[in-house]
Amino acid sequence: MKNVIRFPTETETDLSCFQLFKTLTDQELIRLNLDMTSRIYERKDIVYHEGSRLTGFYCITKGILKLYKTGTEGKEQIFRFAQSGDIIGYRSLVCRELADATAKVIKEAALCHIPYNTFLILEQNNWQFSQYMLQIACQELYEANNYLTSISQKYVKENLAEVLLLLKQKFDPDNTNTLQIPLSREELANATGTVKEHVTRLLGEFSRQKIIEVKGCEIKLLDLPTLKRIAKH
Amino acid sequence: MKNVIRFPTETETDLSCFQLFKTLTDQELIRLNLDMTSRIYERKDIVYHEGSRLTGFYCITKGILKLYKTGTEGKEQIFRFAQSGDIIGYRSLVCRELADATAKVIKEAALCHIPYNTFLILEQNNWQFSQYMLQIACQELYEANNYLTSISQKYVKENLAEVLLLLKQKFDPDNTNTLQIPLSREELANATGTVKEHVTRLLGEFSRQKIIEVKGCEIKLLDLPTLKRIAKH
DNA sequence: CGAACTGTTGAGAGGCTTCAAGCCTAGTGG
DNA sequence: CCACTAGGCTTGAAGCCTCTCAACAGTTCG
C-alpha cells in the first residue's frame, strides 16, 4: 500500500557526511540538527514547484531527484539529476527569488530541509561554509555551460550517448555498467533535448550495435569506448 | 596606428562602483587597490584562454567581452556577454580548476585583475563579500539553465529573437533600440546555436517584416512586441 | 478485463546545415 | 585617388536530421 508513511531513519537524517557541513563547530551542528526537518518522498512526489517560494534548501540523504524547467508548450527540460549528498533549492534562496525549477523524485528519497535563517547564520559565521557553497554553485555553473555547448552543437545521437555516460558516472557507483536510475524514454528525451520517439529509435540502434543492452527502463552499457567515441569525448 | 599603448584612466581603475566591493572596509579597499592591476584590451584581444590557469579574477570597468567554450569541430559556443560592472574568471578560481572558457574582447575594454590571494582574504574576512559572490554565481546559473531550456526546445528563429532581446536589455542603456554591441553574423550564430548562413537568412526575414533594421553590424529593433512574440516570451 | 500509460514503428514534412559561388565592404598599397 | 585584396556577408540548392502525427503493441494497475 501507498499510504503507509515511513519516517526517516537515523542515517536518513545524518548530515555529518555532507562536505558542506564538515567545518561546522559542534554548536553549529547541534543548532543545525535542531532547525532541520526531514521527510521521506515517494517516487513522483514533487519537493517544490517552479514558481514557489522556498523556505530553505534541501539536503538529499537518500534517493534520486530530477530538476527541470518547464519550457514552451509545457515540455520539461531536465538540467540536473541530484542524489544523496547533493543539495537543491539553494539557488532561489541565495537570490531571494521564486524557485526557477521543479524538483521531482525519481527514486524514493529522503530530504532534510534547512531553514533560510539557519543558512543565513551559517553564511555569516562560518566562511568555510560560504566558500564551499560557492564551490557548489560554480561547479553547477561549469556543468551547465558544458551541457549547453553539447546540446547546442551536437547531434541528438551524440547527446544521448553523452547523457548515458554521465548517468553511468553518477549512478553506477559499483561499476556494474547498469544504470541505477529508472528513467522513462520521455525523461531521457527531456534530458537530451529531444522527443521520446527519437530516444526509442536511438536506443534501438545502440542495442543493435551491441553498444548497450535495454530491458524496459534498465540500461546496461556494454561498449564504453564506442559510446565515448559517439559522444565525441 | 595600432601600437600606441594607452594606460587605464582613473575611472577605468575605479572599483568602488562595483556592488561586490560595497561592503569592504577602508582598509580592505586600500589593500584591494594595491594588489589590483589594470590594463586596456583592444578588440579581438584574448584575456584568457580555455585551459589556462588564472592567477585571479577580473573586474570589467569598461567595454564588452564574450565568453565562449570551444565545442566539437572547433565551433565556439558563446554563453555569456560581459560588460562594465561584471566580473569574469572567478569560476575556475573558486573551483581551483583551469579556465573552462575563453574571454575575448568585443569592444575595447578595461579590466582590473584581482589576485587570488586578495580574493581569498576577502572571502575569509568579509561575509558580505562572500554572500554577494555567491549571488553572482547563482544568477549566472539561473541564466545558464534558462538559456539551455531555450536553445534545446525552441526553433532557431525563436532563439535569435530571444538573443536580440537579451542584447537590447544588456547593451541598450539609453533605450535607443539600437544594439550597442558590434557582432558578426558568426558571433550571433555562436550565441544562438546555429550557423552564420541561417542568421543571415533570419535577419533578412526580420528586416523584410520591419521587425528590425540591419545596417552591417548595426541592428536596430523596430517592433519589440512582435519580437517578443516570436521569442515566445 | 478494461483503462491508462508507456513504448515502438512508419511515413511524411519541414527545419537546419552544408557546400559552393558570387557579392559587398573596408583597409591597403601603389 | 584608385585598383586590389581579404574577409565577411548573402543567396541558392541539395540533402540530412529531427519532429510530428498516427496507429499499434505492451505493461501496469485497479
Q: Quote the CA–CA distance of A92 and B14 in Å, as a whole number.
A: 31
C-alpha cell at A223: 561498449
B156 beta carbon < 7 A from strand C? yes
Q: Which nucleotides on chain C have any atom < 7 A from a protein Cβ?
A: 6-11, 15-20, 25-26
Task: Give yes or no for B139 touching A (CB within 8 A).
Answer: yes
Q: What is the DSSP letter of A81?
A: E
> What local confidence, expressed as pLDDT, does residue A4 receive?
55
* Protein CA A99 to sugar C1' D29 (Å): 34
Nucleotide nearest to B75 (CA to C1'): C17
Tell me which of B134, B147, B162 to substitute to probe the interface with A (most A C-beta atoms closer than 10 Å). Answer: B134
Asked if residue B62 lies in contact with residue B56, where contact means CB atoms within 8 angstroms, the answer is no
Residue of chain A minimizing CA distance to B144? A144
Which pLDDT value is given to residue A54?
Answer: 98
* pLDDT at residue number B147: 97
Instruction: Look at residue B5 in the predicted model and tell me its pLDDT.
Output: 62
Q: How far apart are CA A88 and CA A47, in angstroms?
A: 10
Q: Which amino acid, residue A195? A: V
CB A70 within 8 A of CB A101: no
Per the DSSP assignment, residues forming a β-bridge with B39 are B111
Q: Which three cell numbers stand for residue A72?
A: 514552451
Alpha carbons B13 and B61: distance in angstroms, whole number: 7
Tens of pLDDT, residue by residue, chain A (233 residues): 344 567 788 777 788 889 999 999 999 999 999 999 999 999 999 999 999 999 999 999 999 999 999 998 889 999 999 999 999 999 999 999 999 999 999 999 999 999 999 999 999 999 999 999 999 999 999 999 999 999 999 999 999 999 999 999 999 999 999 999 999 999 999 999 999 999 999 999 999 999 999 998 999 999 999 999 999 87
Q: Which residue of A has its CA nearest to B191?
A: A152
pLDDT of residue A1: 39
CA A67 to mean position of chain CA atoms: 6
Q: Which among B127, B147, B232 has the least Cβ separation from residue A123? A: B127
CA distances from A92 to A32, A54, B37 (A): 20, 7, 34
Distance, C-alpha A226 to centroid of its chain: 26
* Residues A103-131: tens digit of each pLDDT: 999 999 999 999 999 999 999 999 999 99
| Pairing state between β A76-83 and B37-41 | unpaired
B120 confidence band (pLDDT: 50, 70, 90): very high
pLDDT digits (tens, 9 = 90+) for B220-233: 999 999 999 999 87
The pLDDT score that the predictor gives to residue A2 is 42
Do B162 and B206 form a contact (C-beta atoms < 8 A)? no
State which nucleotides on strand D lie below 7 Å from a protein beta carbon. Answer: 8-13, 17-22, 28
Could you tell me the pLDDT band of residue B4, with boundaries at 50, 70 and 90?
low
Nucleotide nearest to B201 (CA to C1'): D10
- Decide: CB of B155 under 7 A of nucleic strand C: yes
**How does residue B55 score in pLDDT terms, banded at 50, 70 and 90?**
very high
At A11 the pLDDT is 75
Question: Quick one: which of A8, A146, A134 has its CA closest to A79?
Answer: A146
* DSSP alpha helix (H) spans, chain A: 26-35, 90-95, 116-125, 127-153, 156-171, 185-192, 196-208, 224-231
- From residue A197, alpha-carbon distances to A78, A189, A201, B145 in Å are 17, 8, 6, 24
Cell output for B144: 545558464
- Residue whose cell numbers read 575594454: B109
- Looking at residue B29, what is its pLDDT? 95
Give, for B109, the enclosing helix (H) or strand (E): strand B102-115
Collapsing DSSP states into helix, strand and coil, what is residue A107?
A: strand
Contact B95 A142 (CB under 8 A): yes
Question: What is the spatial distance, in angstroms and rounded to an integer, between the CA atom of B174 and the C1' atom of D1?
Answer: 40
Residue of A nearest to B73 (CA): A153
Give the model's pLDDT for residue A14: 84
A151 with B153: Cβ contact below 8 A: no
Task: Return the pLDDT at B3.
Answer: 45
In 3D space, the residue among B193, B166, B159 whose CA is nearest the CA of residue B181 turns out to be B166
With an 8 Å Cβ cutoff, is A69 touching chain B? yes
**Could you give the dihedral angle defined by the CA atoms of residues B209, B188, B170 and B102, in that order, rounded to the nearest 10 degrees?**
180
Residues of chain A positioned with their CB less than 8 A from the CB of B146:
69, 100
Q: B137-187: per-residue pLDDT in tens?
A: 999 999 999 999 999 999 999 999 999 999 999 999 999 999 999 999 999
Full-model pTM: 0.93
| Closest residue by C-alpha to C1' distance, nucleotide C25 | B216
The helix/strand/coil state of A161 is helix
B185 strand C contact, CB < 7 Å: no
Q: Looking at the predicted structure, is the pLDDT value of residue B8 above 90?
A: no
The alpha carbon of residue B139 is apart from the nearest alpha carbon of chain A, in Å, by 7
HEC-encoded secondary structure of B16-42: CCCHHHCCCCHHHHHHHHHHCEEEEEC
Please give the Cα distance from B212 to B233 (Å, whole number).
17
Amino acid A3: pLDDT: 47
Minimum CA–C1' distance nucleotide for B187: D8
Nucleic strand C contacts from chain A, 145-204, CB < 7 Å: 184-186, 196-197, 200-201, 203-204
For residue B40, is pLDDT > 80? yes
Q: Determine contact, residues A186/A226, Cβ cutoff 8 Å.
A: no
What 8-state DSSP symbol labels residue A106?
E
